[in-house]
Amino acid sequence: MPHYHARVYVTLKPSILDPQGRTVERALSHLEHANVSGVRVGKYIELRLDGERAEVEGQLRDITQNVLSNPVMEDARWELEEVAAQTGMEPA
């Protein structure tokens, strides 16, 4: 059965105030990084899933939209990569 590694990125929509991003931006300014602006803070989640690609993509879409993010306030995207099966043998 194929194995997949998923990466999910969740960020606040541009129209939503990001107080954590503003705090980081101010801290960077105080640390003499005044050329940094537009800081947004989000979430990064990794998952491993097993199954056929179409099934895994559907499951990942559902998990991303209904569990890991709030579609009213957040944008979410994901990447899916097939992982080679491990044989249990170490290379010589």
pLDDT digits (tens, 9 = 90+) for 46-88: 999 999 999 999 999 999 999 999 999 999 999 999 998 765 5
Domain 3-83 has CATH 3.40.190.10: no
Q: Angle at the Cα of 3 (from 44 to 48), degrees rounded to 5?
A: 25
Taking the whole predicted model, whether its pTM rises above 0.85 is answered as: no
Question: Residues with Cβ < 8 Å from 19, sequence gap 6 or more?
Answer: none
What is the Cα–Cα distance from 38 to 86, expressed in whole angstroms?
A: 42
